[in-house]
Structure 1
Amino acid sequence: MKIHNAIALVTGANRGIGYAFVNALLQSGAKKVYATARNLQSLDAVVALDPSRVIPLQVDVTDSNLELTLPDQVSDVNLLINNAGALAFGNILEIPISKIASQFETNFYGSLLMARTLVPIIEKNQGGAIVNILSVVALASMPAISAYNASKAATWSMTQSLRASVAPKGIEVYAVFPGPVDTDMAAEFPMVKTSPQDVANAVLKGVETNQEDIFPDPMAIQVYSAWTQDHKAIEKQFAAM
């Protein structure tokens, strides 16, 4: 789909990649962007990018009532960017089960709930697209972020199911696999990181050129290339991180 004149909704839009997505959408000519976050006041800076086109909304992607409360507020959306995410550290044998559940609540169920809420709206608006932000650790796990790995891998599987389910409705579904991005979430990772703006720009380009699986930065491209040749080698490489 074309980003120009699109009406988008971005979850987790108050900072990092979400903020960058709103900016990239505006720069690409989006007609309107619903910027969402759990704390409405945290959206002040992103609204300031263009108060006439950025609409702030208080949205918790884990709220089971979203399918009832959100549609009337965003009835014109044709592009959903599922960006909201959470990351917890911990070995799979030691991390509390409650933390694992929390990772899935946001990263997996949150993305699924937003998709289920917005699919009828996007279909009614003559089709469009859903973008799910995953991670290269959906391909191979880093033990220190075990629950995050699992939640992103599950979301990748869900994304493929969703893609098949909504294709007859005129909705494209994109899976995005970034490497480390220079955000607060990745602050503890001592490695080269890509800027959020570069990631957002690459993703929108991927949407416009219909790349179903988008690798938006140099590390992601390199990892995917190596993974397709020898996925066990990448598994061992990530296991040592």
Structure 2
Amino acid sequence: MLPFEAGRHALDAYRREYETNVLGTLDVTRAFVPALARDGGGAILNVLSVLSWASLPSEAAYGAAKAAEWSVTNSLRLELAEQNIQVTALHVGRMDTDLIAGRGIEGAADPADIARIALDGVERGQLEVVADDFTRQVKAGLSLGIKDLYPQLAQA
């Protein structure tokens, strides 16, 4: 839903997504950092999305919030490194969750597989885990230019 559509309803969707994905990430991190720091460090895994890097009009509020959460994750990574706290970003595309249930989306990843990939990445000290081919493809497209990332704009 675009912010200018459907009046207040669209703006409420943006607020809800921002509060959940950005402020929620900050709240959870603030709750755990004192214990992690007291124990000499640890790891935080923030679950992001391929929509951190690319937008879909039908998921505009979610994508904007995930992009902001990615920025927050990068800031937390820098801020918490001195306390020996690793902050890892997990970027994933289609995953078989309630978020996509009933939408007829094919090829969604098993959440258990994604969890294993994410935890393996954290264990290896990766700061960013790109969990699937679709997300790797989108990430690679970021350096190509806007019309490569959004081919429909090339015809506009």
- Pairwise TM-score range, normalised by the shorter structure: 0.7 to 0.9
8 Å Cα contact 2:48/2:90 also seen in 1 = yes
Provide the secondary structure at the position in 1 that maps to 2:45. Answer: strand
Counterpart of 1:118, as a letter, is: F
Cross-structure match for 2:3: 92
| Aligned match for 2:56, one of 121, 142, 145 | 142
SS in 2 for 1:96: helix
Match of 1:102 in 2: 16
Higher helix share: 2
In the alignment, which of 6, 15, 25 is matched to residue 111 of structure 1?
Answer: 25
Once the 2 structures are TM-superposed, how far is the Cα of residue 231 of structure 1 from its aligned partner?
4.2
* Greater shift in the superposed pair: 219-228 or 172-181: 219-228
2:50–2:93 Cα contact (<8 Å) kept: yes
Contact 1:177/1:216 (8 A) holds in 2: yes
The answer to whether the Cα contact below 8 Å between 1:227 and 1:233 also exists between their aligned partners in 2 is no
TM-score normalised over the length of structure 2:
0.88
The aligned residue for residue 206 of structure 1 is: 121
| Residues matched between the structures, number | 149
- In 2, are the aligned partners of 1:223 and 1:234 still within 8 Å (CA)? no
Letter in 2 for 1:201: R
Amino acid of the structure 1 residue aligned with 2:80:
V
Taking the aligned partners of 1:200 and 1:234, their CA distance within structure 2 comes to 30
Contact 2:45 2:88 in 1 (8 A): yes
Partner of 1:168: 82
Q: Once the two structures are superposed, what CA deviation does each residue of 1:70-97 show, in whole Å capped at 9, x if it has no partner?
A: xxxxxxxxxxxxxxxxxxxx23321521
Structure 1 CA distance for aligned equivalents of residues 28 and 54 of structure 2: 26
Aligned partners of 1:119 and 1:201: how far apart in 2? 23
* d(CA) in 1 for partners of 2:78, 2:113: 29
Is the 1:91–1:143 contact (alpha carbons within 8 Å) kept by the matching residues of 2?
Answer: yes
Cα gap change, 1:178/1:123 in structure 2, threshold over 3 Å: closer, same or farther?
same
Equivalent in 114, 117, 120 of residue 34 of structure 2: 120
Q: Is residue 2:128 matched to residue 1:236? A: no
Q: CA 1:189 to 1:235, structure 2 compared with 1: closer, same or farther past 3 Å? A: farther
8 Å Cα contact 2:141-2:149 kept in structure 1: no
Amino acid at match of 2:88: Y
**Residue 217 of structure 1: aligned partner:** 132
Q: Which has the higher contact order (CA 8 A, sep 6+)?
A: 2
Q: Which runs of 5+ in 2 are unaligned?
A: none
How far apart, in 1, do the equivalents of 2:152 and 2:132 lie?
A: 17
SS state of the match for residue 28, structure 2? helix
Letter in 2 for 1:125: D
Matches of 2:147 and 2:107 in 1, distance apart? 21
Following the alignment from structure 1 to structure 2, what is the Cα–Cα distance between the partners of residues 190 and 238? 21
- Aligned sequence identity (%): 35
Q: TM-score, normalised by structure 1?
A: 0.58
CA distance, structure 1, for counterparts of residue 27 and residue 145 of structure 2? 31
